[in-house]
Amino acid sequence: MADHDFDLFVIGAGSGGVRAARVAALSGAKVGVAEEHRAGGTCVIRGCVPKKLMVYASEFAHHFEVAEGYGWTVGESAFDWAKFIAEKDKEIARLSGIYVRNLQNAGAELFHGKARLKDRHTVEIDGHGTVTAAKILIATGGRPWMPHELPGVEHAISSNEVFHLPELPKRMVIAGGGYIAVEFAGIFNGLGVETTLVHRGPNILRGFDDDVRSHVTEEIEKRGVTVLLGCQHAAIEKTATGFLSRLTNGHAVESDVVLFALGREPYVEGLGLEAAGVELDARGAVKVDEYSRTSVDNIWAVGDVTDRINLTPVAIREGHAFADTEFGSRPTSFDHEMVASAVFSQPPIGSVGLSEAEARHKHGGRVDIYLSRFRPMKYAFTGGEERCLIKLVVEQGSEKILGCHVVGPDAPEIIQMAAIALKMGVTKPQWDSTCAVHPTLAEELVTMREKHVPPALGQAA
């Protein structure tokens, strides 16, 4: 350290970078952090947090409808976009301030400016000159990927801009079938926007269980989202009244806003990684080992820039493990198995472990399925059509639960608990020995006794 300004220099004050910086600083290291935007990163500034606030805002219309079935007379209601955005921005500023204070309280020094590596120990920060560090952590996250070749792509916005629309559009086209597209389809549909989801594949949410994917498609359609599958944008044209999305199936959809949510890419541009000799993989992500070490022995990387599991809590755990290993004398690598995730679609999804297809592939077909679809009590009472889905994927023989998937109210809350059990290697008999909590949606998880025979297998049998 005597030779360097800092023991650790972190590039990027998002979830992973801030956790690593704080833990290292609290262990006694001299830590510097550079951030070109606001502290908090994608999650706090233009991701999970503002998105969840938008989900809350958009759910009220549905609550009002259900309320009538319970005897309420709901008066005229209106949504004030500008007011909501101002309140949301206040909350984001508050949270970003907490990130800054937490860094300062831990003793880390925050530099505002874009940082780049000049060599393996030297970092240049716009407006601050250069500093040197014994160890460097890259935690710059990711950014939306846009199809730059597409005619008219300049008319589309990404998830960065969607949080700052000057007004609520009347019509919206959302391209993509992943987390972001499906979540924003629910948000804008809930806010009364005529919403069309355009996805190139045969079903949305690739990677999730197939029953979950088709169930969610049906449910979001019931709520009013138009889902166009098997087609994608061929071009976007500006019209007198908005934008025309020309699709590859020959159809055209007019809207006021076109949102592209076609995936995210690691943010490595202009970082000078080549100057330091840091290797990237074919997708442009920083290559790391299980201790988040890059190809250069004094440089590490955590979070979305490494493109492992691109979720905030994962970045936090990777950053924490790095700091424990390098500054806390506790060698720790984060275990990427059995990481639960939630999609805040409407209805939402909670999922942990293997999908049925993954389990059949991995276990040579030796899996049992338990599946239940039913009307949640809250909506059954009002005659609503909404259905939830609960599915368990179980290994034959060991009876270990390999996957648990829930679609319905509170699914993200429910799945956190299920993830504990699956992470501990719970078997179906152990799971079933747990007494139900009644009346809840989650009780169905521990009361499913009959194996489900998927139609295709049923016919073959």
438 is known as an active-site residue? yes
Q: Which residue's Cβ lies closest to ligand NDP?
A: 178
Nearest to 20 by CA among 90, 425, 29: 29
Contact status: 342 vs ligand NDP (CB under 6 A): yes
Tokens 């998002």 sit at which residue? Answer: 14
CB of 173 to ligand NDP, least distance (A): 13
Min CB(349)–ligand NDP separation in Å: 9
Helix, strand, coil share of the chain (percent; to 5): 35, 25, 40
Asked if 206 touches ligand NDP (CB under 6 A), the answer is: yes
Q: Does the protein bind ligand NDP through residue 181 (CB under 6 A)?
A: yes
| Among candidate residues 407, 402, 157, 383, the one with its CA nearest the CA of residue 260 | 157
Query: Minimal CA–CA distance to 134: which of 1, 292, 309, 279?
Result: 1
Residue type, 389: L
179 binds ligand NDP (CB under 6 A): yes
Query: Which of the stretches 71-79, 195-203, 249-257, 292-300 binds ligand NDP when contact is defined by CB under 6 A?
Result: 195-203
Which residues, including other chains, have CB under 8 Å from residue 316's CB and lie 6 or more apart? 15, 16, 19
Of 316, 333, 339, 325, nearest to 423 by C-alpha is 339
Tell me: does residue 176 bind ligand NDP (CB under 6 A). Answer: yes
For residue 362, the tally of other CB atoms under 10 A from its CB is 13
C-alpha closest to that of 403 among 451, 350, 343? 350
If binding means CB under 6 A, how many residues of this protein chain bind ligand NDP?
23
Contacts of 87 (CB under 8 A, 6+ apart): none
- Which listed residue (152, 263, 272, 376) binds ligand NDP by CB under 6 A? 263
Does residue 311 touch ligand NDP according to CB under 6 A? yes
- Cα–Cα distances in angstroms (integers) from residue 414 to residues 229, 252, 342, 407, in the given order: 30, 40, 10, 10
Of 389 and 411, nearer to ligand NDP (C-beta) is 411
The verdict on 286 binding ligand NDP (CB under 6 A) reads no
Min. distance of Cβ 194 from ligand NDP in angstroms?
A: 21
Point out which span in 94-102, 131-139, 194-202, 424-432 binds ligand NDP (CB under 6 A): 194-202
- From the CB of 420, what's the least distance to ligand NDP, in Å? 18
Does 287 bind ligand NDP (CB under 6 A)? Our answer is: no
State the nearest-atom distance from the C-beta of 17 to ligand NDP, in Å: 17
- Of 73-81, 171-179, 218-226, 285-293, which part binds ligand NDP (CB under 6 A)? 171-179
Stretch that binds ligand NDP, among 3-11, 69-77, 170-178, 270-278 (CB under 6 A): 170-178
Region of 370 (left: φ > 0; alpha: ψ -120 to 50; beta: rest) is beta
Contacts of 1 by beta carbon, 8 Å cutoff, 6+ apart: 7, 30, 134
- Interaction between residue 230 and ligand NDP (CB under 6 A): no
Contact indicator for 382, 69 with CB cutoff of 8 Å: yes
Between 34 and 182, whose beta carbon lies closer to ligand NDP? 182
Q: What residues act catalytically?
A: 438
What residue ranges bind ligand NDP (CB under 6 A)? 147, 176-181, 183, 199-201, 206, 232, 261-264, 310-311, 341-344
